[in-house]
């Protein structure tokens, strides 16, 4: 299978040697600002994905900020196209990407090559593709080079992307409790994201909402057996937040990626399902937009100094979000917990540590620690297996610390997976401290104090 898939990769690259980024456009309609892209795999298919930044209660605000900063808006939209392109390019992995609407210099090309390679690390691994970073993709471009553009955003205002899980709920609530001016941002609103904003007491019309539409052609290629797999969604979100910040007049963009996102999915490698949530990407992105887009944004992860264990310690007290948050990809379309996947199990373990197994059962809707069919993902989560799940989950230390807490306070319970755990791991050394912040982050001191107070 490995040799077959690798041969398929090489065959597609020979057959489709160039991927074209033809153009991008933007226009206002009755709904909001629509941005569109024109991608082309010559001899195979053209793609025209789009996204709409909905007005909500901000029509005049958006239009004025766009008109007053059109050059910067267009520069950001071009870059959104550079990351949107990954979803289509990966179907054939053309060795060259030709950009017909904008010039990027060799340093920028290297930056994008790094993002494509590491952001698609899981894709390469699961498709059994072995290739060096410097051979993966090259960029050819034409057009006029650009310089970073100055603009003035509100330095006291924060955009907080909301994904419907516990992390963004924590960021939203802590910043609001501290008296910060906060605007949620949602891409493709659904049950949990809308309900989280509502639980926080914010009107959906005061929320930045973006409807992102994939070109259906990519689904056809997937069905036909072209290459497919995980793409770096958080990197795409990063570029979208720049345009959202510009339209809304906000300087600060507060993500909710935690310290745990830095751990590789496969120990001893650089393959990380959460690469574009990592501090490495965050620092790379901050350097890139400062040098090539504008130095007047402040993109950072508010929860970066925290582990998953610390985040859940805070979230366990924010009970108004408990019945509305969802961290299950399998059940996202129906706004449910599937109760059968690694993310559901991880969330169950973490919740159980700070509440109880019974309470976690009621939230997830399944007695997951008593399900022997969950043994494989359980072993992956706690380090008994060699590879972590390809999901956004915490570190092996996070999970083992949580399991130690459960075993300590619920010593008389004997769920199947806990009995299995006690047989496999007699004693796991974990640092149970929940009060210390990691020093590797991009927070200002006043924001770090908010986290410190929340933990204490």
The two counts, helices (H) then strands (E), for the chain are 19, 11
What pLDDT does residue 4 have? 63
- More confident: 384 or 68: 68
Structure pTM?
Answer: 0.94
Decide if 211 contacts 193 (C-beta within 8 A).
Answer: no
pLDDT-based confidence at residue 348 (cuts at 50, 70, 90) = very high
For residues 406-438, b (16+ Cβ closer than 10 Å) or e, as one string? beeebeebebbbbebbeeeeeebebeeebeebe
- Mean pLDDT, residues 178-203: 96
Q: Which two tokens stand for residue 288?
A: 């890139």
What pLDDT does residue 5 have? 67
Q: Which two tokens stand for residue 430?
A: 């974990």
Decide if 302 contacts 255 (C-beta within 8 A).
Answer: yes
What pLDDT does residue 1 have? 44
Write the pLDDT tens digit of every residue in 89-147.
Answer: 999 999 999 999 899 999 999 999 999 999 999 999 999 999 999 999 999 999 888 89
SS3 254: strand
- More confident: 332 or 272: 332
Q: Which two tokens stand for residue 343?
A: 């993310």
Q: Which two tokens stand for residue 18?
A: 């160039």
Q: What average pLDDT does the structure give for the chain?
A: 93
What share of the chain in percent tops pLDDT 90? 82
Write the pLDDT tens digit of every residue in 198-253.
Answer: 999 999 999 999 999 999 999 999 999 999 999 999 999 999 999 999 999 999 99
- Mean pLDDT, residues 293-316: 96
What pLDDT does residue 386 have? 85
What share of the chain in percent tops pLDDT 70? 97
Instruction: Give the chain's end-to-end CA distance (angstroms, integer).
Output: 52
């Amino acid at each position: 299978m490995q040799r077959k898939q690798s041969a398929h990769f090489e065959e597609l690259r020979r057959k489709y040697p160039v991927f074209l980024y033809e153009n991008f456009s933007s226009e206002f309609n009755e709904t909001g600002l629509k941005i569109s892209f024109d991608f082309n795999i010559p001899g195979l298919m053209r793609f025209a994905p789009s996204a709409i930044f909905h007005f909500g209660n901000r029509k005049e605000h958006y239009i004025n900020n766009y008109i007053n900063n059109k050059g910067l808006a267009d520069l950001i939209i071009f870059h959104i196209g550079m990351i949107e392109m990954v979803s289509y390019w990966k179907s054939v992995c053309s060795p060259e990407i030709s950009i017909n609407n904008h010039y990027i210099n060799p340093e920028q090309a290297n930056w994008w090559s790094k993002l494509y390679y590491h952001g698609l690390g899981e894709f390469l691994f699961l498709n059994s593709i072995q290739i060096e970073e410097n051979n993966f993709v090259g960029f050819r471009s034409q057009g006029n080079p650009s310089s970073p553009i100055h603009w003035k955003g509100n330095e006291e205002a924060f955009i907080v992307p909301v994904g419907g899980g516990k992390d963004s709920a924590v960021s939203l609530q802590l910043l609001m409790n501290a008296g910060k001016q906060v605007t949620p941002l949602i891409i493709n609103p659904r049950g949990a994201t809308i309900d989280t904003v509502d639980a926080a007491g914010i009107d959906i019309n005061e929320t930045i909402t973006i409807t992102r539409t994939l070109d259906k052609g990519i689904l056809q290629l997937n069905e036909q057996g072209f290459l497919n797999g995980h793409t770096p969604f958080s990197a795409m979100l990063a570029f979208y937040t720049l345009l959202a910040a510009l339209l809304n007049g906000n300087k600060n963009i507060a993500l909710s990626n935690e310290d745990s996102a830095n751990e590789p999915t496969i120990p001893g490698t650089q393959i990380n399902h959460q690469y574009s949530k990592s501090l490495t990407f965050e620092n790379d992105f901050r350097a890139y937009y400062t040098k090539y887009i504008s130095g007047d944004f402040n993109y950072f992860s508010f929860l970066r100094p925290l582990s998953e264990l610390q985040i859940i310690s805070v979230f366990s007290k924010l009970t108004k979000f408990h019945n509305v948050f969802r961290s299950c990809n399998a059940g996202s379309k129906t706004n449910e917990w599937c109760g059968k996947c690694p993310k559901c199990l991880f969330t169950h373990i973490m919740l159980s540590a700070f509440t109880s197994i019974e309470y976690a059962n009621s939230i997830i809707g399944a007695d997951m620690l008593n399900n022997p069919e969950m043994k494989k993902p359980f072993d992956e989560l706690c380090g008994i297996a060699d590879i972590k799940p390809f999901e956004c989950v915490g570190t092996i230390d996070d999970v083992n610390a949580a399991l130690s807490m459960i075993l300590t306070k619920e010593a008389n319970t004997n769920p199947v997976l806990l009995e299995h755990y006690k047989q496999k791991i007699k004693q796991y050394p974990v640092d149970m401290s929940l009060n210390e912040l990691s020093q590797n982050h991009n927070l200002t001191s006043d924001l770090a104090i908010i986290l410190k107070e929340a933990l204490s």
